[in-house]
Amino acid sequence: MLKHTRNSDPELYRMVEGDLNRQIHNIEMIASESTVPLEVLELNGSVFTNKSLEGYPGGRYQAGSEFADQMETLACQRAKELYGAEHVNMQTYSGTTANYSVYASVLDIGDKILAMDLDQGGHLSHGSPANWTSKMYNHVFYGCDKETGEIDYEAMEEIAHREKPKLIICGASSYPRLIDYERIGKIAADVGAYSMCDMAHISGLVAAKVIPSPVPYMDFVSTSTSKTLCSTRGGIVMCKEKYAKMLDRGTFPGAIGSVQLHTMAAKCWSLKYASTPEFREIMVKVVKNAQHLAKAMQARDYTVISGGTDNHLIVVDLRNKGVKGKQMQIALDKAGITVNKQMIPYDPEKPWITSGLRIGTTAITQRGLGEQEIDEIVDIMDAVVKNPEDEANLKECRARSEALIANFPLYPAGAFED
Ligand SMILES: Cc1ncc(COP(=O)(O)O)c(C=O)c1O
């Protein structure tokens, strides 16, 4: 692995090697993570890195764009076909900058955005006070029903009619249920707002047609490519044809600089892979595993927000167990299970403590884990929750986690031998 770096910078090499070992020996359950195929690693390191280009195929600001033009055109075509989108922009660098592209395309300073609140499951880039967009735009927020844990569409509609936002955003970081895109699209149309779905978390499930797509109902759809799409750390934005020029101008020169051709090539490969039966089979299992995980947790008296899941993640309210999200994130990490603390809707705790955990099944499903292994994971988790400060307990749990995951290689044997 990294045979050149290994010789020229052993200090840095050891860090990469260290993380590879961490990934091999840990059970990865952060809902936004996946393991990229070897082709994605290969293309990320390809010579496209050397090429500096601005603008779009056929209208670049620099020479030497022949092959880059072919690749970007192919990537756009693949995304259009995969998602049934009218127009695609492949240039944005991540899910966050994909959202910034849309803002740069349709909003002026001071415009109003209606989005899901961060503590209800939304994302920082949807207008959290901690994000720069909160200084540029006015935000109003919707959330979830306290009883059901599902989006309160009636309240959203009422806020939309009262506040008359210019943009309504749906899509979330931590929401386990299907979203009624048709209803949100109609609310936006009724109040004269643009509609946008940030499907960062679920774009792999949507590509595989395992859950419904927002594309037919939204003016704009943004996504990150590194979550369930299982690709490089990048972004994609799609829109209706009538907004194509606005989106392309908003993206470049509006929001980004030169094209990252190497990551675009990796995205291009993944868009092809995401249309295969093999990818679909993985995505079907991701959801099945998440639903099994929810049931297994509930069987041990864990409160699963919204009562279950329709996608790749569950959100667990830990309050009846007498532990906090941060405490469990640390203890589970020591026990070889990687998850993240999570605000639950109406969380009484601060964001850096939290009452909950978000747990995802994408990465473990890619490695081949199924329901039987999830039962063992839940058993380990429960042992950690019961005794989170006991180092001997955590060590014993870690041995169980490592023994379990050892049967499921991260990459095929010999993948990094050179
Ligand atoms: C809904 C949503 N949008 C955007 C992002 C950011 O994506 P990226 O990390 O690719 O910038 C996330 C990340 O978790 C997310 O959950």
For the Cβ of 171 lying below 6 angstroms from any atom of ligand 1, the answer is yes
Q: What is the CA(122)–ligand 1 centre distance, in A?
A: 10
Q: For residue 317, which phi and psi values (nearest 5 degrees)?
A: -90, 115
pLDDT of 75 reads 98
CATH topology of domain 277-401: Aspartate Aminotransferase, domain 1 (3.90.1150)
Is the CB of residue 318 less than 8 Å from the CB of residue 305? no
Number of the ligand 1 atom closest to the C-alpha atom of 224? 10
Q: Two tokens at 220? A: 């704009």
Averaged in consecutive runs of 10 residues, what is the pLDDT profile of the chain (418 residues)?
A: 96 98 98 98 98 97 98 98 98 98 98 95 94 96 95 98 98 97 98 98 98 98 98 98 98 97 98 98 98 98 98 98 98 98 95 97 98 98 98 98 98 91
Nearest to 255 by CA among 104, 396, 150: 104
Taking the C-alpha atoms of residue 331 and residue 358, their distance in angstroms, rounded to an integer, is: 15
Q: How far apart are the first and last CA of the chain?
A: 6
| Largest Cα–Cα separation, the chain | 63
pLDDT of 418 reads 79
User: Residue ranges per domain, the chain?
Assistant: 41-273, 277-401
pLDDT of 192 reads 98
For the Cβ of 96 lying below 6 angstroms from any atom of ligand 1, the answer is yes
Is the CB of residue 169 less than 8 Å from the CB of residue 139? no
Three-state secondary structure call for residue 210: coil
Nearest to 347 by CA among 117, 36, 27: 117
Residue 269 belongs to what H/E stretch? helix 261-273
* Beta strand spans in 177-296 (E): 194-198, 220-224, 235-239
For the Cβ of 118 lying below 6 angstroms from any atom of ligand 1, the answer is no
Q: For residue 237, which phi and psi values (nearest 5 degrees)?
A: -125, 140
Q: Two tokens at 208? A: 């595989």
Taking the C-alpha atoms of residue 396 and residue 414, their distance in angstroms, rounded to an integer, is: 30
The best mutation among 201, 206, 233 to test binding of ligand 1, ranked by most ligand atoms within 8 Å of the C-beta, falls on 201
Taking the C-alpha atoms of residue 382 and residue 236, their distance in angstroms, rounded to an integer, is: 38
Number of the ligand 1 atom closest to the C-alpha atom of 201? 16
CATH of domain 41-273: 3.40.640.10
For the Cβ of 123 lying below 6 angstroms from any atom of ligand 1, the answer is yes
Nearest to 230 by CA among 383, 34, 31, 368: 34
For the Cβ of 358 lying below 6 angstroms from any atom of ligand 1, the answer is no
The best mutation among 96, 206, 341 to test binding of ligand 1, ranked by most ligand atoms within 8 Å of the C-beta, falls on 96
Bridge partner list, 197: 170, 221
For the Cβ of 33 lying below 6 angstroms from any atom of ligand 1, the answer is no
Q: Cα angle vertex 295, ends 289, 296, to 5°?
A: 85
Neighbours of 303 (CB within 10 A): 18
Q: What is the CA(96)–ligand 1 centre distance, in A?
A: 6
**pTM for this entry:** 0.97
Q: What is the CA(235)–ligand 1 centre distance, in A?
A: 9
Using the structure block, give the residue that is written with the tokens 């299970």. Answer: 337
Nearest to 98 by CA among 280, 313, 247: 247
Three-state secondary structure call for residue 311: coil
pLDDT of 143 reads 96
